[in-house]
Amino acid sequence: MRDSRQLPSVAFLISGRGSNMVAIIKKVKEGKLKIKPAIVFSDNPGADGLKSAEKAGIPVSAFPPADFPTREDYENTLVNTLKKHGTEWVVAAGYMRLLKKPVIEAFPGKILNIHPSLLPAFAGLNAQQQTIDAGVKITGCTVHFVDMGMDTGPIVMQTAVPVEETDTVESLSRKILHAEHDTYWRAIKKVVSGYEVRGRTVVIK
């Protein structure tokens, strides 16, 4: 058993409002999720979520890829920043970039993402619009491990959300986001206790 000083140390990657990050930190403060938020990083120095993280007393860092000669330089600096804060796990929550080799290889099997659809359906951008365009009756959210593909890593947890005929992208996005806030922390809680991947199936130990 880890003592409290050895809680799994988690970095958050955000690009915007950061409501998933805030929802997860709330569960940490309530004692329902035993992790240590190590740092919140954004590729967008103007991200609203950075202010929420500061309010919660979590170290923040922000720099855009445009400040670096190559994408690799950007990610190497990101890895150094995360490591400097003792990061073991990386939780992407509304981080609007594909992670590349430097980050993926620095945290093998320890990077999570949340996506607003039931993957493998509707990967990529504008998942809610894709959902409405396809006319499906059930959608939801997916927490998955990050690999080199776009929303292709092994699935940890999914929550279903019904699609009504009257739904718009906005109303559906709200419902899915509500489900995300109650899904992500549960998924983190599961995987940090240990897991293995059998075929494509994530098995919690």
Binding region for ligand GRF (CB under 6 A)? 14, 16-20, 93-94, 114-116, 177, 180
- Cβ distance to ligand GRF smaller for residue 73 or 133: 133
- Is residue 115 annotated as a catalytic residue, yes or no? yes
* CA gap 113, 142 in Å, rounded: 8
Q: Which is nearer to ligand GRF, 8 or 140 (CB)?
A: 140
Q: Is 125 exposed, middle or buried (0-12, 13-18, 19+ CB in 10 A)?
A: exposed
H or E element that contains 26: helix 19-29
- Minimum distance, C-beta of residue 203 to ligand GRF, in the bound complex (Å): 24
Please state the closest distance from residue 77 (CB atom) to ligand GRF, in A: 22
Q: Which CB, 16 or 102, lies closer to ligand GRF?
A: 16
Catalytic residue among 85, 115, 144, 181: 115
Closest residue to ligand GRF: CB criterion: 94
Please give the C-alpha separations between residue 87 and each of 40, 106, 119, 179, 201, in angstroms, as whole numbers: 11, 10, 27, 26, 25
- Indicate the helix (H) or strand (E) that contains 2: none
- Residue closer to ligand GRF (CB basis): 168 or 193: 168
CA distance 137 to 79: 40
User: Tokens standing for 10?
Assistant: 């988690």
Coil vs helix vs strand at 7: coil
The catalytic residues are 115
